[in-house]
Amino acid sequence: MKMLTRSMVRHAHAIAREVGARVIMLHADVIEEDADLSSLVEDVNFRIILVSHRPDFLAPVERKDMCSVVHVPDIAMTRAGLVKVATLVAAAESLVKAGDRILCLTGIDGSGSIDTIMVLDMGTEIELFSASTADPLPKDVTPAVFERILTLASELGVEGREGRTVGTLFVIGDSDRVLSQSHQLVFNPFHGYPEGERNILDHRLEETIKEFSAIDGAFVVRGDGVVLSAGRYLAPRSKLEEPLPQGLGTRHEAAASVTVTSDSIAVCVSQSTGTVSIFKGGRMILDIQKPRGRGSDAL
């Protein structure tokens, strides 16, 4: 194992104790060998969240009592982007909560070198997280559904669709209220199909979702993952208390507004930049910028 990684982990352990961190978040895909990862985990006498792009990744068996695993979309992300996504997913799964201080260790996938340390305070980091991120999901939305939509949105933001950039919007949760504040722009392509055939958790639906992402309007998704509609025009009866950041358009405004008048969460993909923005309670709680290149070697 590289000396840099050993040194970073050793110092991270000391920093975590000094700053009162509740958990250490480690990007497991940086370490190629399972034995090296297990050895690192053993060196850290702390609760650990292991972050991986690999859907089949599991914590080392001998250390599973102190490790949790968070899976993130298998796309190119900057270091900061990966930390944002991993922290949001960890919050959705109740692995971290408001007030927690998290020490994050990351680097380039497969490099074998941990080269970056970040310390985050859940709920007070203005640049990365707003207070509502600490409790991000509406009551009727399961973490698995949110994570699946986050993956689809991230893939669309980075890859587009058949070489074209794509802008789209997913509104998840409190679906009856969302539907009452919207109408169809086109015939609903999901109408009439059994619920079992239109659940976002079924990976066979992936190509269908990506194909319909080119339709104007939003996807409305029930909290258990059933896709109720695509091509939905949102017309929420509300005004935002705080203006959105400059550069965001009408799709983002609709996403923010519908989360004011319903207990929903909205995931928006920008057609111009590929940035994925997440809204709750009328505010943008997180944005994930598309990396400039295919590699994730930028901060």
Segment 42-76, tens digit of pLDDT: 766 678 999 999 888 888 777 777 889 999 988 87
Identify any residues that bridge with 112 across adjacent strands, giving them in sequence order: none
The yes-or-no verdict on residue 126 having pLDDT over 50 is no
Q: Which of 114, 134, 154 is the last residue of a domain?
A: 134
The one-letter amino acid at 117: I
CA 231, 271, 202 angle in degrees (round to 5)? 55
Are both 179 and 105 inside the same structural domain? no
The pLDDT value recorded for residue 129 is: 52
Are both 123 and 157 inside the same structural domain? no
Are both 185 and 89 inside the same structural domain? no
Residue 172, SS3 per DSSP: strand
Are both 96 and 228 inside the same structural domain? no
- Calculate what percentage of the chain has a pLDDT beyond 90: 46
Residue 24, SS3 per DSSP: strand
Are both 117 and 160 inside the same structural domain? no
| Residue 111 located in a structural domain | yes
Using 50, 70 and 90 to split pLDDT, how confident is the model at 279? very high
Are both 105 and 202 inside the same structural domain? no
Are both 189 and 265 inside the same structural domain? yes
Are both 173 and 281 inside the same structural domain? yes
Averaged pLDDT for residues 100-118:
87
| Residue 66 located in a structural domain | yes
Are both 155 and 283 inside the same structural domain? yes
Q: Which of 65, 99, 134 is the last residue of a domain?
A: 134
Are both 116 and 162 inside the same structural domain? no
Q: Which of 134, 166, 186 is the last residue of a domain?
A: 134
Are both 208 and 238 inside the same structural domain? yes
| Residue 298 located in a structural domain | no
Domain that holds residue 21: 3-134
The pLDDT value recorded for residue 127 is: 45
The pLDDT value recorded for residue 297 is: 56
57, 32 contact by CB (below 8 A):
no
The yes-or-no verdict on residue 11 having pLDDT over 50 is yes
| Residue 72 located in a structural domain | yes
| Residue 293 located in a structural domain | no
CATH number of the domain where residue 219 is located: 3.40.1700.10
| Residue 242 located in a structural domain | yes
Which range (71-75, 152-156, 210-214, 291-295) has the least confidence? 291-295
Using 50, 70 and 90 to split pLDDT, how confident is the model at 169? very high
Are both 208 and 129 inside the same structural domain? no
Nearest to 142 by CA among 71, 203, 86, 201: 201
Domain total of the chain? 2
Task: Compute CA distances 69 → 24, 59, 64, 137, 297, whole Å.
Answer: 12, 6, 9, 19, 22
> What's the helix, strand, coil split of the chain in %, to 5?
30, 25, 45
CATH number of the domain where residue 109 is located: 3.40.1380.20
Name the strand (E) or helix (H) holding 107.
strand 101-107
Residue 71, SS3 per DSSP: strand
- Calculate what percentage of the chain has a pLDDT beyond 70: 91
Distance of CA 252 to the CA centre of its chain: 17
Please state, in angstroms and rounded to a whole number, the distance separating the CA atoms of residues 160 and 162: 7
Q: 215-241: buried (b, 16+ CB within 10 Å) or exposed (e) per residue? A: eebbbbbbbbbbbbbbbbebebeeeee
| Residue 283 located in a structural domain | yes
